[in-house]
Structure 1
Amino acid sequence: MTLLSSSEQQQVADAIDRIEQHTDAEVVTVLARQADDYRYIPLLWASLLALVLPGAVVYFSGWLDVSELLLAQWCAFAVLALLFRLPIITSKLVPRAVRHWRASNLARRQFIELNLHHTEGETGMLIFVSEAERYVEIMVDRGISSRIDNKAWESIVATFTAQVGKGEVLQGFLDCIETCGTQLAKELPATHERNELPNRLVVLD
């Protein structure tokens, strides 16, 4: 998995420049490699299976005594904990709801940390992507939500999410920015020239 190159990041910044000429909205984009390392998930699965599997052997076969059972549980835990740390396996152990919850939390932290809640007229917009979770979210401040219903972003998010799933992150950003720009120019047209927040793509590697 690779994040966008410098030239691709510049294309995103240029796209933001273009739409902000026609709207008072302040658009910021964030691309995260992943929202969490989920280190606790493999340990939880390893602990659960290490307790259940050796116990099942004892129950069905009576092969192990108590001391052998404890040793088998420790060995099973050690092996499974190492095995489940492999990224290809870890990604399958984390429930989708947990992945999206972590990504959503990161998006909200970024909205605050990037001062999108402190713009003139409360017109901040965050376009957030967490690549590993295939998660996309558009967050807007009150100056935008008071004029554009949040449902307007749902189809844009759905399209972008599908593009992330296919590895088309750059094109997804460009299409999303352009489509959002059309909505913003219509409902929140530019009244004066300003650029409160940087237009560069924020990358969380």
Structure 2
Amino acid sequence: MELSEADQDRISAAIKAAERKTSGEIVCVLARSSSDYMLYPVAWAVVLALVSPWLLLAFTQFPVQRILLIQLALFIVSFLLLSAPSLRAILVPRGVRRTEAHRAAMEQFMIRGLHRTENRAAVLIFVSLAEHYARIVADDGIASKVDQKIWQGAVDAVLAGARSDRLADGFVEAIEQCGAVQAVHFPPHVQQDVLPNRIFVI
């Protein structure tokens, strides 16, 4: 699922419109995946390669050199097969995927400088497609005034948009909801718009 240039322009316009009503900031990040999860294909390939010699020794009369070659070939083939994105997704436990997506959201919050705004009222809308994960990360200023549950509507909106192949619509709705919450607690004043009004695709 990709965002076209027109989609990205719509999202930028929605951020600008929302920020006109609040002194808070909104940043959006779309990740294709929160991790490459390459550890899992490697680990499974190693396990298969380590088990294979015992089976070959028990059930065949192959010489050691042939067994070592089979072991090496099995490692390479299984690693290449299990590295396919569809199979890799099956290998990674759901809890691990959610943990990685959460880590990536927090990392993006810091990388994009949301913690450096003067009133600490910035909000990150983070979506990771591979993990089917969305999170609103609010800085301390707004988080101290708004319960985390309040952001659930924005999370639901962006996830619904992703599921129905209307990702840009989901982002726009989430931006509008976040902006409305920010406007209640941080009305607009003459604060400089310090963060980019765009979506970052990583």
Question: How many Å apart are 1:4 and its aligned residue?
Answer: 0.9
Shift of residue 22, structure 1, vs aligned partner: 1.0
The 1:64/1:148 distance shift into structure 2, 3 A limit, reads farther
What's the C-alpha RMSD, in Å, of the aligned pairs? 2.1
Q: CA deviation at 1:7?
A: 1.1
Partner of 1:138: 136
Distance in 1 of aligned mates of 2:155 and 2:199: 18
Cα drift, residue 196 of structure 1: 1.4
The counterpart of 2:108, out of the listed 84, 107, 110, is 110
- Larger CA deviation: 82-91 vs 159-168: 159-168
Task: Using the TM superposition, give the Cα deviation of residue 103 of structure 1 relative to its aligned residue in structure 2, in angstroms.
Answer: 2.0
The verdict on how the C-alpha distance between 1:64 and 1:20 changes in structure 2, with shifts beyond 3 A counting, is farther
Q: Tell me, what secondary structure is at the counterpart of 1:122?
A: coil
Map 1:121-200 → 2, pairs under 5 A: 121-200=119-198
Question: Is the CA contact (8 Å cut-off) linking 1:3 and 1:33 kept in structure 2?
Answer: no
Query: Residue 9 of structure 2 corresponds to which residue in structure 1?
Result: 10
Q: Distance in 1 between matches of 2:55 and 2:98?
A: 34
> CA offsets, 1:56-101, max 9 Å, x none?
5655xx3355725444322211110111122222222222222222
Which residue of structure 2 aligns with residue 101 of structure 1?
99
Q: Show CA shifts across 1:150-171 (max 9, x none).
A: 1211343234224323433211
The CA deviation at 1:133 is 1.9
1:21–1:193 Cα contact (<8 Å) kept: no
- Mapped pair 1:26 → 2:25: yes
Structure 1, 158-167 or 30-39: larger mean CA deviation: 158-167
Partner of 1:52 in structure 2? 51
- In 1: Cα distance, 2:163 partner to 2:132 partner: 6
Q: Secondary structure at the match of 2:110?
A: helix
Structure 2 portions without partners, runs of 5+: none
TM-score (norm 1): 0.87
Distance 2:150 2:117 in 1: 22
In structure 2, do the counterparts of structure 1 residues 188 and 83 end up closer, same or farther at CA, with 3 Å as the change threshold?
Answer: same
Identity over aligned residues, as a percent? Answer: 38
Equivalent residue for 1:40?
A: 39
User: Is the alpha carbon distance of 1:162 and 1:64 closer, same or farther for their aligned partners in structure 2, counting shifts above 3 Å?
Assistant: farther
Letter in 2 for 1:51: L
Q: Write out per-residue CA displacement over residues 23-78 of structure 1, whole angstroms, 9 at most, x where no aligned residue.
A: 1111111112222222222111111123335535655xx33557254443222111
Deviates more, 1:144-153 or 1:43-52: 43-52
1:114 positional shift: 1.4
Separation of aligned partners in 2, 1:196 and 1:12: 17
TM-score, normalised on structure 2?
A: 0.88
Following superposition, the deviation at residue 18 of structure 1 comes to: 0.8
Distance between the aligned counterparts of 1:56 and 1:150, measured in 2? Answer: 53
Please give the alpha-carbon distance, in whole angstroms, between the structure 2 residues aligned to 1:179 and 1:66.
68
